[in-house]
Amino acid sequence: MRPPLAAALALALAAPRALAEDEVAEGLPAPAFSLKTLNPEVAGSAWIALDRYVGEEAEDPGAKLVVISFFASWCGPCQKELPWLQHLHRTYADQGLRVLGVDVDRDEAGVAAARKLLQVHRVTYPVLSDRFNFLARRYLGEQAPLPSLFVVRRDGTIARIERGYARDVSAVLLAEIQGGLGLRAQPARAGARP
């Protein structure tokens, strides 16, 4: 009787390990991806992969930290977050911050609206199209509030996850970003994240 019980126990213990590999959580590796850019003129490439910025063989030697923000053109809070992300990109790119937007609009009209938002907000960081929501389902699950933001360390692990939009989170995220870049913490600029 013991061998079948031991086998059942081994299977039961292996199942949570397999599920943990699929989990997206702080301290775990960020799922890899490669997506087409909506703004290749600023991205410098038609496709962007996460391993360009993180991992042992990262192509970008200056990258220290990556902020990935999932958004949609129809999401009001996402539109408010775009200028804040642009501010982070402009302020900290030279110190090693890389900002990536991931648009989850599914239809052509939504993708066109997202491109228009990028122009209106003068977004100069790469924005990727996840039109079939494969990456969004991986990072966000079936239902998650937008915008959802992930801070990924150079080693590829997730440092912080923020789901949804909260005005007061900007100071916490700014401290996380500054710390991840090895910078001395500076106070958030008033109104930096509307």
Instruction: Tell me the pTM.
Output: 0.83
Residue 194 pLDDT > 60: no
* Confidence check: pLDDT of 123 > 60: yes
pLDDT tens for each residue of 19-59: 344 689 999 999 999 999 999 998 888 999 999 999 999 99
Model pLDDT, residue 21: 46
Q: What is the mean pLDDT of the chain?
A: 84
Q: What is the structure's pLDDT at 91?
A: 96
Model confidence at 13: pLDDT above 90: no
Confidence of residue 138 (pLDDT cuts 50, 70, 90): very high
- Is residue 164 predicted with pLDDT exceeding 50? yes
What's the pLDDT at 189? 52
Q: Is the pLDDT of residue 1 over 50?
A: no
3-state secondary structure the chain: CHHHHHHHHHHHHHHHHHHHHHCCCCCCECCCCEEEECCHHHHCCCEEEHHHCCCCCCCCCCCCEEEEEEECCCCHHHHHHHHHHHHHHHHHHHHCEEEEEEECCCCHHHHHHHHHHHHHCCCCCCEEECCCCHHHHHHHCCCCCCCEEEEEECCCEEEEEEECCCCCHHHHHHHHHHHHCCCCCCCCCCCCCC
Domains of the chain (ranges, CATH numbers)? 28-180 (3.40.30.10)
